[in-house]
């Protein structure tokens, strides 16, 4: 294996993090047994890790809050290892702050958890619905949260372990629009409801991600199914091409993460 090639896949990432992942890969190859990661990685990292492992006869299994979650923990296994034999190292849980007086947001749940002295990467995505925060972490981190968190913004909190099946589905807002082409600048201007010039500025500043990777080419052709993230604007899915009209423009269906 080429260590330099692997490190060059992540030129802007923390070297200690990438080195730790590299050591996990080497260990899995050496002992021919699963090696469990301890942190949740963003998509642009775990996607590249998964692709790399395909070339070295390893599986990189990813686990998050739900299928559509961004942050995922990676477990490296030999190709012939049965995933059903993996140890249960993750806990799905909910923080219930149901009340009639205050509506809590994602930042309230995250901020309170981080105030316990935990690092962001030790926790997966948090989905908030009706003053309940649905979370995932390693078993060890869950014990810390369970033993130390009793309220969020003065609202009493009840923590309980749940089944992954209890996690609510991700909610979307859907809308349609017309675009002259499937170039990135056209897509960004449409879904963010801004001028193309402002969209180009956002792209060139690195504020636009396509499938979780920063994309600075305004001319890039965007495929149906792509996930487009615009910082401070939201995350969107180019769901469908609904066809071309008489003026040569394309009608598209967009799904925005609620």
- State the number of CA atoms in the 13 A half-sphere of 24 facing the CB: 22
Instruction: Check residue 45 and give its pLDDT.
Output: 92
Predicted model pTM: 0.80
Residue range(s) defining the domain that contains residue 195 = 172-257
* Percent of the chain topping pLDDT 70: 100
**Residue 2: its pLDDT value, please?**
85
pLDDT of 1 > 80? The answer is no
CATH number of the domain where residue 180 is located: 3.10.290.10
What pLDDT, on a 0 to 100 scale, did the predictor assign at position 204? Answer: 96
pLDDT at 37 over 80: yes
28, containing H or E segment: helix 15-31
Q: How far apart, in whole angstroms, are the C-alpha atoms of residue 222 and residue 241?
A: 11
Q: What is the mean pLDDT of residues 119-141?
A: 95
Verify that 102 and 142 share a domain, yes or no. yes
164: Cβ–Cβ under 8 A, 6 or more apart, which residues?
66, 92
Of the candidates 21, 56, 83, which is a domain's last residue? 83
- CA-to-CA distance for 68 and 101, rounded, in angstroms? 31
CA distance 73 to 86: 14
- d(CA 56, CA 64) in angstroms, rounded, equals 24
| Residues 251, 182 within the same domain | yes
Average pLDDT of the chain to the nearest whole number: 94
Q: Are residues 59 and 102 in the same domain?
A: no
The confidence score (pLDDT) of residue 232 equals 86
Mean pLDDT of 209-218: 91
Domain boundary among 133, 166, 199: 166
| CATH number of the domain enclosing 130 | 3.30.70.330
62 and 138 within one domain: no
Residue-level pLDDT at 69: 87
Handedness of CA 193, 237, 124, 148 (dihedral sign): positive
- Band (pLDDT 50/70/90 cuts) for residue 159 is very high
Q: Is the dihedral of CA 141, 25, 53, 87 positive or negative?
A: negative
Give the confidence band of 68 by pLDDT, cuts at 50, 70, 90: confident
**Exposed e or buried b for every residue in 131-167, given b needs 16+ CB within 10 A?**
bbbbbbbbeebbebbeeebeebeebebebeeeeeeeb
Q: CATH no. for residue 48?
A: 3.30.1370
Q: Give the pLDDT confidence score for residue 172 in this predicted structure.
A: 87
User: Does residue 107 share a domain with residue 56?
Assistant: no
Give helix 184-192 / helix 196-204 axis angle, nearest 10°: 110
How far apart, in whole angstroms, are the C-alpha atoms of residue 40 and residue 180? 39
The total number of structural domains in the chain stands at: 3
Indicate the residue among 166, 197, 215 that finishes a domain.
Answer: 166
- Asked whether residue 176 falls in the same domain as residue 250, the answer is yes
My answer on whether 231 and 176 are in the same domain is yes
pLDDT band at 112; cut points 50, 70, 90 = very high
Element (H, E) at 109: helix 106-114
């Amino acid at each position: 294996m080429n260590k330099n090639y692997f490190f060059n896949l992540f030129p802007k990432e923390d070297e200690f993090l990438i080195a730790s992942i590299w050591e996990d890969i080497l260990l899995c190859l050496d002992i021919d047994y699963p090696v469990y990661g301890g942190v949740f990685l963003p998509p642009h990292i775990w996607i590249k890790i998964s692709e790399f492992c395909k070339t070295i006869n390893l599986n990189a299994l990813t686990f998050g809050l739900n299928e559509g979650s961004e942050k995922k923990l990676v477990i490296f296994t030999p190709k012939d290892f049965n995933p059903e034999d993996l140890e249960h190292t993750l806990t799905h849980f909910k923080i219930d702050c149901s009340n009639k007086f205050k509506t809590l947001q994602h930042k309230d749940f995250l901020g309170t958890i981080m105030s316990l002295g935990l690092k962001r990467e030790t926790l997966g995505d948090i989905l908030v619905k009706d003053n309940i925060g649905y979370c995932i972490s390693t078993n060890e981190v869950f014990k810390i949260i369970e033993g130390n968190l009793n309220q969020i913004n003065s609202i009493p909190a009840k923590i309980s372990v749940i089944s992954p099946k209890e996690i609510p589905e991700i909610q979307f807002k859907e809308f349609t629009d017309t675009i002259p082409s499937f170039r990135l600048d056209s897509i960004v201007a449409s879904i963010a409801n801004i001028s193309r010039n402002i969209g180009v500025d956002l792209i060139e500043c690195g504020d636009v991600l396509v499938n979780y990777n920063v994309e600075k080419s305004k001319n890039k052709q965007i495929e149906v199914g792509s996930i487009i993230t615009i910082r401070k604007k939201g995350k969107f899915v180019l769901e469908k091409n609904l066809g071309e009209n008489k003026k040569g423009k394309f009608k598209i269906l967009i799904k925005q993460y609620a």
